[in-house]
């Protein structure tokens, strides 16, 4: 079988990069795109000058300003970001039609059969990066690898404005030394479980059998074992229709009661709004839902048609969902069911 050639493209601090491009006076300052502190806003993204102070995406704006008092806060311009994203995808299509957008600022490209650049995925990635800079004046990082898992890791390897290539011959050595914390799906809880097993790298995972991992980590154990071998058979999906969109957060310390849960809702809602804005051109939001996982790992999900996907609407659902357990909470999530726009035969709302 011919090894696949996958490119993962990830824009560098996308929203902030566009704001600095359109207002060069911002370029030398620490800036962040997000909501205001007095409304319990959250940072959507920030430039690298701000990251030097510890500012990160999904951080509360109030906390970001405490870390970096001179931080310049910029209100998001989603229409502009969407337009730039579409322009970037037009560049992608010069090389392949097999494109899987993950968000406005990143995508997978399958260039296995592409005739461009003599079939060299590395040269195609170099050209894409160059064209995005020349035409749009923003930088992107790229990863090239035989599968999606490794291509995504590679794109982050030399950020910002970098290119990293993992050839089929290099997969074995690269994956062996890879920390398990770099693997998608390995969060803090899973990392602690693996550490108790003496597992910190993919080489350590290989010493265990898939059955042992499955007993320890459930269904994710088998997936982890495959990733540790560098195996990822997922294809680049061109026309994938999402069923739902949600944002979840597992807390380091359990939330003791309903008021503590409600205090975290603005942060979750702000992240949810940012992600939903990326999909509004393709999907319509339907039923909102709230997910609550209690300290004993029991959980409940409550969704309700007719409830608005506003912060107040989610608050009402949260109150009902919490009442089902009425005990400390380790995870909260908010989301909506989605339906694609423009599906033939669909019935549109009257109002």
Catalytic positions, written as ranges? 106
3-class DSSP assignment, residue 313 = helix
Contact 59, 42 (CB under 8 A): yes
Alpha carbon distance 281, 81 (integer Å): 12
Nearest to residue 289, comparing CAs of 235, 247, 237, 331? 247
**Dihedral-angle region of residue 140 (phi above 0 means left; psi in -120 to 50 means alpha; beta otherwise):** beta
Residue with tokens 């690298």: 48
3-class DSSP assignment, residue 300 = strand
Q: Is 320 exposed, middle or buried (0-12, 13-18, 19+ CB in 10 A)?
A: middle
Q: Are strands 72-74 and 31-34 parallel, antiparallel or unpaired?
A: parallel
> Is the peptide bond preceding residue 160 cis, with omega within 30 degrees of 0?
yes
Cα separation values, 273 from 34, 136, 319, Å: 11, 26, 20
Alpha carbon distance 180, 346 (integer Å): 44
Angle at which helix 311-323 crosses helix 258-279, to 10 degrees, equals 130
Residue 38 annotated in ligand binding? no
Angle at which helix 258-279 crosses helix 78-92, to 10 degrees, equals 50
Residue 10 annotated in ligand binding? yes
End-to-end CA distance of the chain: 54
Alpha carbon distance 139, 211 (integer Å): 43
Binding residues for Mg(2+): 10, 105
């Amino acid at each position: 079988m011919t090894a696949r050639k996958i490119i993962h493209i990830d824009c560098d601090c996308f929203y902030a990069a566009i704001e600095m491009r359109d207002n060069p006076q911002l370029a030398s300052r620490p800036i962040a795109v997000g909501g205001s502190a007095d409304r319990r806003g959250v940072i959507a993204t920030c430039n690298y000058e701000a990251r030097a102070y510890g500012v990160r995406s999904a951080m509360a704006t109030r906390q970001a300003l405490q870390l970096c008092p001179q931080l310049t806060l910029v209100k998001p311009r989603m229409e502009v970001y969407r337009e730039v994203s579409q322009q970037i995808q037009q560049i992608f299509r010069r090389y392949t039609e097999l494109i899987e957008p993950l968000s406005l600022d990143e995508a997978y490209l399958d260039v296995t059969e592409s005739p461009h650049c003599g079939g060299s995925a590395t040269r195609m990635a170099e050209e894409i990066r160059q064209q995005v800079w020349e035409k749009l004046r923003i930088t992107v990082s790229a990863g090239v690898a035989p599968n999606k898992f490794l291509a995504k890791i590679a794109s982050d390897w030399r950020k910002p404005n970098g290119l990293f290539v993992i050839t089929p011959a290099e997969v074995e050595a690269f994956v062996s030394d890879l920390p398990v914390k770099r693997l998608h799906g390995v969060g803090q809880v899973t990392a602690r479980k693996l550490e108790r097993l003496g597992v910190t790298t993919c080489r350590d995972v290989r010493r265990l059998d898939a059955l042992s991992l499955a007993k320890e980590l459930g269904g994710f154990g088998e997936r982890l074992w495959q990733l540790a071998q560098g195996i990822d058979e997922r294809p680049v999906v061109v026309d994938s229709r999402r069923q739902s969109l949600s944002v979840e957060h597992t807390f380091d310390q359990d939330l003791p009661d309903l008021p503590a849960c409600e205090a975290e809702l603005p942060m979750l809602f702000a992240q949810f709004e940012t992600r939903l804005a990326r999909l509004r051109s393709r999907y319509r939001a339907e039923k909102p839902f709230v997910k609550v996982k209690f300290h004993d790992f029991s959980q409940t999900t409550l969704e309700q048609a007719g409830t608005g996907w506003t912060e107040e609407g989610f608050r009402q659902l949260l109150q009902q969902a919490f009442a089902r357990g009425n005990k400390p909470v380790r995870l909260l999530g908010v989301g909506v069911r989605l339906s694609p726009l423009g599906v033939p035969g669909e019935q549109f709302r009257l109002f």
